[in-house]
Amino acid sequence: MTFPVQKTEAEWRALLAEKGAEPGAFDVTRHAHTERPFTGKYEQVWADGSYHCICCGNTLFDASTKFDAGCGWPSFSQAVPGAITEITDRSHGMVRVETVCSQCGAHLGHVFNDGPSPTGLRYCMNSASLEHQSE
């Protein structure tokens, strides 16, 4: 899959280092790793604003859609329309729906159908894939 924002691995590493991204952000965003639950810096952040892709700045979620799913990762009930691309993930002996940034292809996490009304969705994201901006 090709995305509008393209960089080499060295360019992604340099960009994340320049931004002071969390340790492991490169592996999470560019190689679909997962941070350990309850360890990400945004798991318990409830400030107003929006969440953006750490790699390209694409706006992904409004903070008003964040909720405590108790899963150990920041969870949102709704993404900004068009911000996320969903990909069938058959790894680890199960079928899930992976979410990636629609602009740069950064791995964000997975989406599940067990969220709150009205969407019924739970976008379970890695903190290392996100940056929060206050209003």
- Contact call for residues 23 and 16 (beta carbons, < 8 A): no
- Contact call for residues 52 and 130 (beta carbons, < 8 A): yes
Instruction: Name the residue among 133, 107, 115, 131 with its Cα closest to residue 67.
Output: 115
Q: Respond yes or no: is residue 56 known to be catalytic.
A: no
Q: What is the 3-state secondary structure (H, E, C) of 57-72?
A: CCEEEEHHHEECCCCC
71 Cβ contact partners less than 8 Å away, ≥ 6 residues apart: 37, 122, 124
Tokens standing for 19? 């931004």
Q: How far apart are CA 102 and CA 85, in angstroms?
A: 5
Q: Which of 53, 101, 104, 124 is catalytic?
A: 124
Q: How far apart are CA 71 and CA 111, in angstroms?
A: 12
Residues forming the active site: 124
